[in-house]
Structure 1
């Protein structure tokens, strides 16, 4: 089974987390509630997440918008018609060009059914998506959190979340990923919303606001 959250339950979950973790409460007290970042369950959203791998959000969005200009509507069929040169003109690296094509082929052929993922468990979604070249755990985590709105995901591979976690809890820089995963257990069954609070802290403490997930 899996649990989800929505706009109606989001603030209530934030309050539940704040009641059990004084550090999370301090984020809300200082900066207010975080945005409830979300994206539609579409091929375009997954392409966007792939583009965000290891680059700035601004760079990823620029490439996505350029792709949208080129094909009008970002669908597997239209993307598969693009040449290498056309992809490059949309600021796609050779790697991300290959990843996007692999994803488009998987959806176009029926290997992946994004609509069906809404009714499958987190582990099942991960198993299917991670079989596609270029999709790793971070990409699956973001898809689960922001597209499917699964409530209990901690993206241990996300640099901003990790940095915010260490700063919030005053942890040593050398704190391991396994230790963070263990500490995040305290936030079950709402680790996704706890991570949104971490991102909110990361951005707000730097005077930044953004309407997209990291």
Structure 2
């Protein structure tokens, strides 16, 4: 991932969000830099996000390191060519292996055209991605935000964002995805920046470095 890229005080999207939402303004006041969280576009970026699904960051990093050591470049063709035993030996669960194979096959046969996604509306891009087994809205949103750099993506199913939003808004319970979607509507067209602010806020409230 890229290092922190943008100072919050000078970022136009952050300034717009702060003007629109006093709770986000308070969050931004505690963040020194806005983390970029960039990933490469293409199958490698998509696969890295899928590996991260429902596991800790440390576990995902370990699995990804073993995959890269085994495959060299993590491409759809190279992943498809490996046996189940080899890939399971890298630490993938059987469901995760099945999902990665489905994504690799969809990319290889053109049913998922990753190169076409930047030219599609968000809803159409999400639909194209979630049509593939194992790619849900969280994976699609993280790819659109971090690999394609779309400025207005809100990953409503992200647990850290739900926790950070609960803290920022003083909510009694962690909000469900539908509720966070409703809150985030007011942040358009800068929802990706709002997500980055709240990811940084999550690290603050958990006692970690904000970057």
TM-score, L = length of structure 2: 0.90
User: Following the alignment from structure 2 to structure 1, what is the Cα–Cα distance between the partners of residues 122 and 29?
Assistant: 32
Contact 1:14 1:33 survives alignment (8 Å): no
User: Following the alignment from structure 1 to structure 2, what is the Cα–Cα distance between the partners of residues 31 and 76?
Assistant: 38
1:108 maps to what in 2?
108
Question: How do 1:14-29 and structure 2 match up within 5 A?
Answer: 14-29=14-29
| Per-residue deviation, 1:125 | 1.0
Contact 1:11 1:33 survives alignment (8 Å): no
| Per-residue deviation, 1:7 | 6.4
Question: How do 1:85-164 and structure 2 match up within 5 A?
Answer: 85-164=85-164
Deviations 1:4-27 (A, max 9, x none): xx9699821111111222222222
Q: Which has the higher contact order (CA 8 A, sep 6+)?
A: 1
Deviations 1:134-193 (A, max 9, x none): 001111111111111112222111111011101110011164443332222211111111
Question: How do 1:8-87 and structure 2 match up within 5 A?
Answer: 11-87=11-87
Any unmatched runs of 5+ in structure 2?
A: none
Contact 1:184 1:191 survives alignment (8 Å): yes
Any unmatched runs of 5+ in structure 1?
A: 1-5
Contact 1:126 1:137 survives alignment (8 Å): yes
User: Following the alignment from structure 2 to structure 1, what is the Cα–Cα distance between the partners of residues 174 and 102?
Assistant: 36
Deviations 1:107-132 (A, max 9, x none): 11122221111111111111111111
Structure-2 change in CA distance of 1:8 and 1:149 (3 Å): farther
The secondary structure found in structure 2 opposite 1:31 is: coil
Question: How do 1:129-208 and structure 2 match up within 5 A?
Answer: 129-173=129-173, 175-208=175-208
Structure-2 change in CA distance of 1:8 and 1:203 (3 Å): closer
| Per-residue deviation, 1:52 | 1.1
Between the two proteins, the alignment pairs up a number of residues equal to 206
